[in-house]
Structure 1
Amino acid sequence: MDPSGILPWIQNQFPGWVAITLFVIDALVRIIALGTIPYRRKPAAALGWLILIFMIPFLGILVFLFIGSPKLPQRRREKQHEINQRVKTATGNQAIIGRSDHLVLPLSTAAQLNYELGALPMVHGNSFELITDSVYCIDEMTEEVNRAQTYVHFEFYIVALDDTTRPLFDALIAAHKRGVAVRILIDHVGSIGYPGYRSLVKLLDSSGLMWRRSLPIRPWRGEYQRVDLRNHRKILVVDGTVAFTGSQNIIHPSYNKKANLRRGLMWKDLMVRCTGPVVDELDAVFASDWYSETDDALFGEFDEELDAPPESTGIMAQVVPSGPGFDQENNLQLFTHLIYNANREVVISSPYFVPDTALLTALKTESQSGVDVRLYVGATNDHWVAGKAQESYYDELVEAGVTIYQYHSPTVLHAKFILVDDEVTVIGSSNMDERSFSMNHEVTLFIVDEEFTQRMYALEREDFQVWSVPLDAEKWGNRSWMRKYAENVCRLGSALL
C-alpha cells in the first residue's frame, strides 16, 4: 500500500487515537528498518528484507526479528572462536605444514586465506578415493564402522532409517556395545520431515549411544535458535584413520518420499574416502559441532595428532569449515579467489546455483577473459523456488560465454565440486547459493594434486558430459514471459532463501 494512503485507510478502520498510533508505528518501523537492516548485510539481502517490510510492515518486521539474524547465538560463536584458537595452537600457527615451495602463489595464498578464516592448515600425506554410488558408499562406511576400535564420529544433515541405511546403524550400535565411543550428530530440521527419521530416533534412544540433534528447534526444552541456520555438513570419521565427506546424506537415494518414487527421482552424489592428516581436520570440525551441542570438548583426544610431524609426500589438502559460527563467508571467499586465479578452465557442479554478486561477477569475468567456464546443474530440481531463481541467471551467464550443462532428468544432480585448471579440486557439502555461504554449516575439501584433479576431469567427461545436455541459448531465450516473470520473482527473494 502507498504510504500516503495508509493514514486514511487506518482512520476508516479504527478510532482516531488508535489510527494515529498505528500510523506512527508503521512509519517508525519503515524508517528504522531503512537505517538499520543494511548494516553489514549484502545489498541484495538488505533489499529483500526492506521490500518485505515495506510491503507488509508489521508481519515483515516480525519475520525479520524471528529469522533476520544470519549469525548463531553469541555463546555458540564464542565456542567456535575458542576452538579456532586451540586448533591454531595445536598446529603451530602454520597455514601450510610441510614443503610448500612447489605451490604457485595463488594456491599458497588460498591456503593462507583458508587458515585465517577456518583455522585448519594445508597438509601433505593424504589420499582420496572418489565414490559416485550412494548405496556403495553407505556399504563402505558400514565396513569401516565394523572395524572401529576406538571411536566413530558421525555428522550428517539428512538421516533416516530405511533398508539402505539400517546396516550402517546396526554397525554403529554394535560398535557402541563393544566399547567404541560412538558420537552422532543429526541436523534436526534437515531430517525431521523424512520417512524413517522417527524410527531412527526411537532406535538411537533405545541403543544408549551418544547422539544429539544439531541446532535443535525444541523451545519447550529450552533449545532454540534461528530456524533456518542449519548444519549441512557430511562427515564420518573412524578411529582418526579414515573419513568420508562430500555431498551425500544418509538415506536411500530416493529420499523415501512417495512423490519421488512416482517420478523416478534419484539423487546423484559425490563422496570422498580420505586417509592422512585431513582425517584429523575433519575430526576437528566434528569436535567443534559436538562441543557446541554438548559442552563436551574432544580436543584432548587428538591434540597430539594435529601437532604430529607431517609427511612431505602424498596429496596436499586442506579442510575448510564455514557457516554462521564464523565471522566471514569462508567457502565463498575461497571459491571466488580460485576462480579469479584460473588461467584455462573452471568446472562447477552444484544442485542449487543461486550466486551472489561476487561469485556471479567472478564467473562472468573469467569467461569473458577466455577461460573455459562450464557449469553443471540438474534438469530436475527438487526445490521449485530455488530452481526458478537459478534459471534467472542463465541468460547473463550464457551471454558471458559460460557453457551450462543440464544433467538428465529424472536424476537429481546433488554432487558439489569445483575444478580449476590442472591441479585444483574443491569438493564437499557446499552449494553455490546464499544459504550455503552464510546460513549453513558446511565443510569443504581444498585439494591440490594433478593426478586427483585429472580423475575428476575424467569423471566429468565420462559421466557428467555423457548424461548432460548443453543449454540451447536460442531456445532458452524464447521461453514464455510467464516463466521469465516467475524466475524474476524467485530471484528477488533468493537472498532470503
Structure 2
Amino acid sequence: MTINWATITALIGLVGWIIPFVMLFIVPTNRKPSSATAWLLLVFLLPYLGLVLFLVLGSPKLSRRRRAEQHTMDKLLHQVVEEFQQQPELVALLDPPIPPRDAPYVQLNRNLGGMPALAGNSVELLPNYNAVFERIAQDIDNAQKYVHVEYFALSRDEETEGVFAAMERAVSRGVKVRVQMDHLGSRKYPNFEDMRAKLTAAGIEQHLLLPLHFFGANYTRIDLRNHRKIVVIDGQIGYTGSQNLIKRNYFRKDAIYYDELVARVCGPVVGELEAAFITDWYSETRVLLDRNTAPEVTFEPRACGEMLCQVLPSGSGFENENNLKLFTSLIHAARHTLVITNPYFVPDDALMTAITSAAQRGVDVTLFNSEASDQFLVSHAERSYYEDLLRAGVKIYQYKAPILLHSKHITIDDDIAVIGSSNLDIRSFQLNLEVTLICYDAKVVADLRQVEAVNLSKSKPVNLEEWETRSVREKLYENISRLTAALQ
C-alpha cells in the first residue's frame, strides 16, 4: 500500500487551519478576555500544540463532582451556622453587631464563602520561621481531643521534626490526629513516601489533596492545587498564613530561603478554619467529619479575645473568584493607607485598576515584593507591572536577596487586615484552593504595621528612573512572561 504523503500533508494543513476557527467558538466562553486572547493567540500560532494544551489545561475549574461536594458543604455550613446563631448565649459571638465600615465586606465574604464574621477572637502574629513550628508543637502537646493539619507542602525534616514528634505523642495519649497534604506540592521533597508510611504507622490518618489522576472520571488538570495552610487544635486554636510545614530553604540548591507570616488564632473563628479542613477532607475521602464519624470534632465557640474575624475559602471549587473579589473591594475602600505584601504579584485588570486608582486618589500605597526570584516566569511577569504602578504613585520595595519574602498580607487603613495563603496572581484567583483570614481590628493592623516596618528595613526601594533603564532583554522576558500568565 502506497502512502500518499502529499494528501496527508494537505489534510494536516487543512485541519491546522480549521482548529483556530473552531476554537473561536469554544475558548472565549465564560473566560476573561485577556485569558481568551492569550489562548487564541497560541492556537492560531501553533494549532496542534495549542489544542492539546487547551484540552489539558484549559478548564480552570475542578470536576463537577467536586464542585457539587463544595456546594453540599456550603449548604451544610449555612445550616450549622443558623442553628448556632439561634442559641441566645452565643449570639454575641456568632451574630455580633457589625460596624458600618465593615458591613459591606462581611456581607460579601459571607455570600462568597458562606462564613459569617465572628466576635471574641484573639490573633497573634508569628513572623519567625522556626518559632512557628515550636509554637505549633507546644499547642499539639496540649491537645486533648484532636489535631488537624493541612499543608500544600509537607516534609518531615530536621526543622519540622518537632511538629511530627508532637503529633505522634498526641496519638499515644489518645488524641485523634488527621493530616492532609497536597499531592503535587509535597511529593517532590525527599522521603515523601517514607514520611507517609511513618504517619500511618504512628496511627495518624493521612490523605493526599487533589491526588494526581491522569485518566478517567477523577481527572483534574495537574496544576489545580490545594494551596491552603491550616492547623486546628481541639477547635479552639488555629494557625493559618503563608508558611508550609517544611524546612526554611525548601531543599533548594541555591542560596534562597524564605521569610513568612503565620497567624495564631484563638476563639470562634477557629471553627471556620476547621470548616475549610472538613470540606477538604470530605472531598478526598467522602467522609463527613460529624458527630457520628468523628465525635471528638465538636464546635464549642468560646470567647478568647475581643476581635472580629472572618475566614474566606476560595478556589476552583467555587463559582466565583472569592479572594479576588475580596481584595479588589478592600483596595477600593482604602482611604489613606494601603500596604500589600505578596511574593507573586501578577494582577488581573480589575485588581491593577483598583491599586493604581487608590494611589491616584491620594492613598499611600506600598507594595512589598522580593529581589530574589524562585520562579522565572512569575518574577518577570510581576516586574512587568512595576512601571505602571510607579507612574501611578505606588511605592515598591524589594526584599533583599537571598531571602524571599513569601508572606501574604494586606493592611487597609488602620482597621482591616488580611492574612492568608493567597498570592496575587491568576493561579491563586482561579486555580488554587486558598484560605484567607480577615481581621476587622485595629490591634491586628497595628501589629502588622510592626511586621511591615521590619520588612521595610530589609528592603530596597524601586526607583522609576532607574527601573526604566533595565535592559531590552529583561523587558522582553517580562513581556513574554506576562503573556503566558494569562494562559489559564
- Fold-level similarity (TM above 0.5): yes
**Comparing 424-433 and 207-216, the one that deviates more:** 207-216
Match of 1:469 among 457, 460, 471: 460
- Aligned residue for 1:398, secondary structure, equals helix
Q: 5 Å matches for 1:239-318?
A: 239-257=234-252, 259-260=253-254, 263=255, 265-300=256-291, 314-318=306-310
Q: Deviations over 1:377-436 (max 9, x none)?
A: 011121111000011000000000000011111111100000001110000000100001
Match of 1:72 among 28, 43, 62: 62
**Do 2:289 and 2:297's aligned partners in 1 also have CA atoms closer than 8 Å?**
no
User: Amino acid of the residue matched to residue 243 of structure 1?
Assistant: G
Residues 210 and 313 from structure 1, CA distance in 2 versus in 1: closer, same or farther, beyond 3 angstroms?
closer
- CA distance in 2 between counterparts of 1:293 and 1:145 reads 24
Match of 1:125 among 100, 117, 120: 120
- CA distance in 1 between counterparts of 2:295 and 2:411 reads 31
Residue equivalent to 1:104: 100
- CA distance in 2 between counterparts of 1:78 and 1:143 reads 38
Match of 1:178 among 169, 173, 177: 173
**Do 1:97 and 1:124's aligned partners in 2 also have CA atoms closer than 8 Å?**
yes
**Do 1:243 and 1:273's aligned partners in 2 also have CA atoms closer than 8 Å?**
yes
- Aligned residue for 1:375, secondary structure, equals strand
Residue equivalent to 2:481: 490
Residue equivalent to 2:226: 231
Match of 2:192 among 194, 197, 203: 197
Once the 2 structures are TM-superposed, how far is the Cα of residue 489 of structure 1 from its aligned partner?
Answer: 0.6
Residue equivalent to 2:82: 92
**Do 1:233 and 1:429's aligned partners in 2 also have CA atoms closer than 8 Å?**
yes
**Do 1:349 and 1:415's aligned partners in 2 also have CA atoms closer than 8 Å?**
yes
Once the 2 structures are TM-superposed, how far is the Cα of residue 118 of structure 1 from its aligned partner?
Answer: 0.3
**Unmatched 5+ residue regions in structure 1?**
1-12
- CA distance in 2 between counterparts of 1:78 and 1:454 reads 40
Residues 342 and 14 from structure 1, CA distance in 2 versus in 1: closer, same or farther, beyond 3 angstroms?
farther
- CA distance in 2 between counterparts of 1:471 and 1:18 reads 56
1:371 corresponds to 2:363: yes
**Do 2:213 and 2:220's aligned partners in 1 also have CA atoms closer than 8 Å?**
no
Q: Deviations over 1:300-355 (max 9, x none)?
A: 4699965x678697100000000000000000000000100111011000000000
- CA distance in 2 between counterparts of 1:303 and 1:39 reads 46
1:56 corresponds to 2:46: yes
Residue equivalent to 1:431: 423
- CA distance in 2 between counterparts of 1:256 and 1:221 reads 34
Residues 440 and 152 from structure 1, CA distance in 2 versus in 1: closer, same or farther, beyond 3 angstroms?
same
- Aligned residue for 1:91, secondary structure, equals helix
- Aligned residue for 1:25, secondary structure, equals helix
**Do 1:215 and 1:224's aligned partners in 2 also have CA atoms closer than 8 Å?**
no
**Unmatched 5+ residue regions in structure 2?**
86-90
**Do 1:123 and 1:310's aligned partners in 2 also have CA atoms closer than 8 Å?**
no
Residues 290 and 309 from structure 1, CA distance in 2 versus in 1: closer, same or farther, beyond 3 angstroms?
closer
Once the 2 structures are TM-superposed, how far is the Cα of residue 221 of structure 1 from its aligned partner?
Answer: 10
Using structure 1 for the length normalisation, give the TM-score. 0.92
Match of 2:334 among 326, 337, 342: 342
**Do 1:280 and 1:302's aligned partners in 2 also have CA atoms closer than 8 Å?**
no
Residue equivalent to 2:353: 361
Residues 55 and 303 from structure 1, CA distance in 2 versus in 1: closer, same or farther, beyond 3 angstroms?
farther
User: Amino acid of the residue matched to residue 100 of structure 2?
Assistant: V
Once the 2 structures are TM-superposed, how far is the Cα of residue 28 of structure 1 from its aligned partner?
Answer: 2.5
User: Amino acid of the residue matched to residue 15 of structure 1?
Assistant: W
User: Amino acid of the residue matched to residue 83 of structure 1?
Assistant: M
Residues 334 and 363 from structure 1, CA distance in 2 versus in 1: closer, same or farther, beyond 3 angstroms?
same
**Do 2:122 and 2:306's aligned partners in 1 also have CA atoms closer than 8 Å?**
yes
**Do 1:158 and 1:191's aligned partners in 2 also have CA atoms closer than 8 Å?**
yes
- Aligned residue for 1:255, secondary structure, equals coil
Q: Deviations over 1:342-374 (max 9, x none)?
A: 110110000000001110000011110111110
Once the 2 structures are TM-superposed, how far is the Cα of residue 97 of structure 1 from its aligned partner?
Answer: 3.7
- Aligned residue for 1:332, secondary structure, equals helix
- Aligned residue for 2:457, secondary structure, equals coil
**Do 2:209 and 2:226's aligned partners in 1 also have CA atoms closer than 8 Å?**
yes
Residue equivalent to 2:395: 403
Once the 2 structures are TM-superposed, how far is the Cα of residue 99 of structure 1 from its aligned partner?
Answer: 3.0
- Aligned residue for 1:86, secondary structure, equals helix
Residues 220 and 494 from structure 1, CA distance in 2 versus in 1: closer, same or farther, beyond 3 angstroms?
closer
- Aligned residue for 2:82, secondary structure, equals coil
Residue equivalent to 1:151: 146
User: Amino acid of the residue matched to residue 21 of structure 1?
Assistant: L
- CA distance in 2 between counterparts of 1:44 and 1:370 reads 29
- CA distance in 2 between counterparts of 1:177 and 1:290 reads 23
Once the 2 structures are TM-superposed, how far is the Cα of residue 219 of structure 1 from its aligned partner?
Answer: 4.5
Q: Deviations over 1:107-132 (max 9, x none)?
A: 21111111111001100000011101
Once the 2 structures are TM-superposed, how far is the Cα of residue 55 of structure 1 from its aligned partner?
Answer: 1.7
Residues 309 and 236 from structure 1, CA distance in 2 versus in 1: closer, same or farther, beyond 3 angstroms?
closer
Aligned residues between the structures: 477
Question: What is the RMSD computed on CA atoms of the aligned residues?
Answer: 2.2
Residue equivalent to 1:5: none
- CA distance in 2 between counterparts of 1:291 and 1:285 reads 10
**Do 1:161 and 1:199's aligned partners in 2 also have CA atoms closer than 8 Å?**
no
User: Amino acid of the residue matched to residue 250 of structure 2?
Assistant: Y
- Aligned residue for 1:36, secondary structure, equals coil
- CA distance in 2 between counterparts of 1:175 and 1:481 reads 57
Once the 2 structures are TM-superposed, how far is the Cα of residue 19 of structure 1 from its aligned partner?
Answer: 3.5
User: Amino acid of the residue matched to residue 5 of structure 2?
Assistant: P
- CA distance in 1 between counterparts of 2:132 and 2:373 reads 23
- CA distance in 2 between counterparts of 1:182 and 1:70 reads 32
**Do 2:342 and 2:409's aligned partners in 1 also have CA atoms closer than 8 Å?**
yes
Residue equivalent to 2:15: 25
Once the 2 structures are TM-superposed, how far is the Cα of residue 172 of structure 1 from its aligned partner?
Answer: 1.3
- CA distance in 2 between counterparts of 1:345 and 1:303 reads 44
Once the 2 structures are TM-superposed, how far is the Cα of residue 100 of structure 1 from its aligned partner?
Answer: 2.2
